[in-house]
Amino acid sequence: MTAGRSDGTWWRGLMAAAVLASPALAQKSVYWPAQFNEYPEVTLARSAQSDNFVVFWGQLAGPDPTQAPPAIDFDPAAVLAELESVYATYITQVGFLDDTVGNLAAYKIIVVMNDTWSSGPWTGWAFGASYDNTIGAMWVHPDATPGPSWVLAHELAHTLQNQVFIDNPGHGLVNFEPTGSFWETHAQFMAGLHHPTLLESVDLIRFFNTQHFFFASTRHHYGNTLFLHHLRDEYGLDFINRIWREANAGTEDAPLAIMRIMGWTQEDLNDCFGMAAARNVVFDYT
């Protein structure tokens, strides 16, 4: 590994090694968002790739970001390795999406390193969405990336949530205001599947202080994951995936999608919430 070199050639070695090591790399290409054309600072010369991701950084981090100023230094190889590990959990183990079809099969997820740019709008801590309704993307600060990174796992969940309605038009929890809080609930749930020993990041203490509010209340913040654990234990992990993949965009939030998928009445859903609440008394989850 030559990541310590500062002559601007280390990233080429990393990319070449990745190409040689993984035949799958050639199957996905780098999508170039329209926004990038507005900022000449964005260049493949300051990027690194793996099978499923491409990371871009700005000139403030220099040609070798491991040698960047301490406030914005990071290791692209480590970031890519961390993301590939989370990706394997979400795609291979959880089965959230099929990455052999659609745009997820064609393009690498884009990662933009915030606050490394002398120009451009990319600043802040961490966000996950998509570019041009084409491929998932995330924008993260270098300080959010050292592994094990709950932030990367959380934001990757958001990018894949976006990919649901990109690759499956008409589906996904989108274009319907009540769905907003479930995006964070589900991203925290997914991150917990990859980092089961980092559950303090779920913020369960906040949930304990807000558990008397209705399920979709934003007052739960990011900690409202226990109901999803109940659904997983009762109906299997893929049922959580189905809520996203089969929800009717623009007309359903998570509870409405659950009722339709299961053929439930409101009373049936209420009973399910009641069973989950009973489990919370003794934290009875697998």
Break the chain into its structural domains and give their ranges: 10-167, 177-280
CA distance 165 to 244: 9
| Helix or strand (DSSP H, E) at 131 | strand 126-131
| Dihedral class, residue 92 (left if φ above 0, else alpha if ψ from -120 to 50, else beta) | alpha
Task: State pLDDT tens for residues 121-135.
Answer: 999 999 999 999 999
For residue 168, the Cα-to-chain-centroid distance in whole angstroms is: 17
Backbone angles phi, psi at 111, to 5 degrees: -125, 120
pLDDT at 87 over 80: yes
53-70 residues labelled b (16+ CB within 10 A) or e (exposed): bbbbbbebbbbbbbebee
pLDDT at 249 over 70: yes
Task: State pLDDT tens for residues 165-216.
Answer: 999 999 999 988 777 789 999 999 999 999 988 876 666 777 778 778 888 7
Confidence of residue 11 (pLDDT cuts 50, 70, 90): very low
Which pTM does this prediction carry?
Answer: 0.88
pLDDT at 84 over 50: yes
